[in-house]
Amino acid sequence: MRTITVRTSKEYDVLIGKGLLSRAGEEIQKRLSPSRAVIVTDSNVGPLYAAAVKRSLQACGIQAAVYTFPAGEAQKRLSTIAEMYEVFAAAGLTRKDMAVALGGGVTGDMCGFASATYLRGIPFVQIPTSLLAQVDSSVGGKTGVDLEVGKNLVGAFWQPSLVLCDIGTLSTLPGRYFSDGMAEAVKAGCIKDKDLFSRMEAEDVHGFLEEMIARCIDIKRQVVENDEKEQGERMLLNFGHTLGHAIERLHHYEGVAHGEAVAVGMVRAALAGEKAGVTEPGTAARIQAVLEKFSLPTQTGFSDEELAKAAFTDKKRGTNGVSFVLLHGIGDSFLRPVELNELESFIKI
């Protein structure tokens, strides 16, 4: 088992290894002293793992209830948060109790936001069961929900009290969603670690999966510790996301996974950088090849005009433009402001 300590406004451990679901109660009691907990999960993950986590909590003297919502990005809305509040209240949660996010990125984002705002803030623990959540979204304290006009437009920065990455859960992950998570792993290599990227190009990631997850988390740890509230360096974690979120919105958050959309966004960002003369030639081709190795899409049928218009509502935009993440080369990223009236021409291939 590996342990990474994140030192932000709240210090917490990220544990990575096998068998952590059955030890959830033990690991939580080492760090917190809750009497009650609500396990928040979705209809895909709950039947697989909620009972084991509940047993582990109860074995450590923690009363546990389970709230299950229908799986899917379409549920990532304020009405689902309102249901969580009612469950938290019915379970009698106090500020000394906690919520447990058991599932992928949607579950973690929503449970975190509900925890940040219920009783003006209660502790929560992340137990990510998808690769995407393990390598990225479970760490760093970003929480929130979508609105019709855009993704993650309502939320809060609220750090978890503990993250348990049980890599055993990845064995039940459908192939498409393993690929979905690999997009965020590739992103980590693109922005901060050319050696990690090279290993993903050359090797079978299943041979160094725990090490890869730990490295991705450590990259995010470094960035978040330097910029917890996304005022500067943390924006680099959004490589591929400006256009990725636009693609998700154009799909109405259905039929395309987050990592699939980000994969296209990363290739387009690299191509834009090469066209602008700031990215090493051939970078986009390398990114496209490694993404295709993991069966991820690298093109979209939407026009440059459609992508630019959809990106106008991205939460990373300023009054007059978007902070676009580009690469000098693999492992070397930077921010470039792009005026909104220039975005369409900037991303045009």
Catalytic residue annotation: 120, 142, 184, 220, 230, 234, 238, 241, 245, 258
Closest CA to 122 of 162, 68, 91, 161: 161
d(CA 163, CA 323): 30
**Angle value at C-alpha 93, between 90 and 98, nearest 5 degrees:** 130
Instruction: Report which of 72, 259, 254, 268 is spatially closest to residue 176, judged by C-alpha positions.
Output: 259
φ, ψ dihedrals at 340, nearest 5°? -60, -35
Count of other CB atoms within 10 angstroms of residue 26: 13
Q: Which amino acid type is present at position 112?
A: G
How far is C-alpha 72 from the geometric centre of its chain's CA atoms?
A: 14
Q: Which two tokens stand for residue 47?
A: 């039947």
What type of residue is 249? R
Whether the CB-CB separation of 248 and 170 falls below 8 Å is answered with no
Q: How many residues does the chain have?
A: 349
Token duo for residue 242: 């400006």
User: Which helix (H) or strand (E) segment is 213 a member of?
Assistant: helix 209-226
Residue 308 tokens, joined: 């630019």
For residue 162, what is the enclosing H or E element?
Answer: strand 162-166
CA atoms within 13 A on the CB side of 91: 27
91, two tokens? 């379970």
**Residues facing 156 on adjacent strands:** 143
Rounded CA separation 131/212 (Å): 11
